[in-house]
Amino acid sequence: MNHHPTSRVAGCELCDSAGGELLHHASQFRVVLVDDEHYPGFCRIIWQEHVKEVTDLPELDRMLLMDVLWQVELAVREVMRPDKINLASFGNLVPHLHWHVIPRYADDTHFPQPIWGQAQRALQSSQLYLRRQLLEQLRARMKQRLSIYP
């Protein structure tokens, strides 16, 4: 297991860009809001260092990452009021450690399938509009919950 605090990989989407609208930037991670028209409130936690797996991190960094994951999930739940939260860390296409925190609703396009699966129904524009109206509140709540991480 290699630990290189300043490691970046050229051509890595998450090394080369923020990966979404920056909500919080800490020394070891960043939290972004993903611009996904079907899933308002979809957030991503991205480890700053280019590592592939959680187990590539030292124990204290793993604990920090999990604590941040719980804080982001709580903020999304508190503001977006989803029926379910999906947490995912794949990295098959972008092998840079990151977690997806996705609010899910029984009426969303893909439910109960994963958001990357086959669509189950047409987009409900009125519901999406109401959910998008919560994004400013989500930004504020995320700032509040993540302020403890420098």
Run of H or E including 16? helix 13-16
Domain 13-142 belongs in CATH node 1.25.40.10: no
Cα–Cα distance measured from residue 34 to residue 40, given in angstroms and rounded to the nearest whole number:
8
Mean pLDDT for the stretch of residues 127-146? 97
User: Is it the case that residue 4 has pLDDT exceeding 90?
Assistant: no
Cα–Cα distances (Å) from 146 to 55, 64, 73, 80, 89, in that order, read 23, 12, 11, 17, 20
Res. 11: pLDDT tops 50: yes
% of the chain beyond a pLDDT of 70: 96
Dig out the tokens for 37 from the structure: 């028209």
- The structure's pTM equals 0.93
Residue in the block written with tokens 């993903």: 34
- pLDDT on residue 2: 45
Where exactly are the structural domains of the chain? 13-142
Per-residue confidence (pLDDT) for residue 7, from 0 to 100:
81
